[in-house]
Amino acid sequence: MIVMPSNFGAPTPDQLAVRLINILPSKINTIISDILSQRSNFAQPKIQDRFFAAAGKMEHFGAKIFGSSIKASDSCNKCGLCIKNCPEKNISIQNDKIKFGFKCIWCLKCIYGCPCGALNPGMMKSAVIKDGFSINRAKQMAEVHKDDKTEGLPKNGLWGGIIKYLEE
């Protein structure tokens, strides 16, 4: 399993985002090794994890509705960056207006990447992190703080499972 910093709802604390980025090569090497040696690594999910898995399945439908609700404000200069960066080609210009379809996967690249800050969801506004999200910023911080450990990070609540993942 690969865990990335959150771009949705609750921002990942900087120190935790750094650790998640820095541990990626190790986690990926473990996965590759397991695949090549045909090792199975199945765990019995906890009850709360089954709930999150079910919620995750509903997320796919919710993403489509969310994406179709995004509107461009008058500050949009129609630069096309959102269109270019959308991995699902869900955004187009029609009648000189930015239009969103029903193929959104909730990556939020359009909203966080808009240089004008002109894109706003019509629903679930709380899904968008107030100060934005930048994977490039997290990667830059990870370069500076290569040897950070998990000491001092919250070990319970929302981030407890992430800390366990980092310590495995």
Residue of higher predicted confidence among 90 and 155: 90
Q: What is the pLDDT of residue 159?
A: 75
User: What are 133-166's pLDDT values in tens digits?
Assistant: 777 777 777 676 666 566 666 666 777 778 788 8
Instruction: Look at the chain and count its residues.
Output: 168
Measured distance CA(6)–CA(71) in Å, rounded: 23
Number of CB atoms found within 10 A of residue 91's CB = 24
- The structure's pTM equals 0.73
pLDDT of res. 25: 92
CATH code assigned to 14-36+43-167: 3.30.70.20
The confidence score (pLDDT) of residue 60 equals 78
Distance (Å, whole) CA 117 – CA 11: 18
- Rounded Cα distance between 3 and 24, Å, is 8
Q: Report pLDDT digits (tens) over 96-106.
A: 999 999 999 98
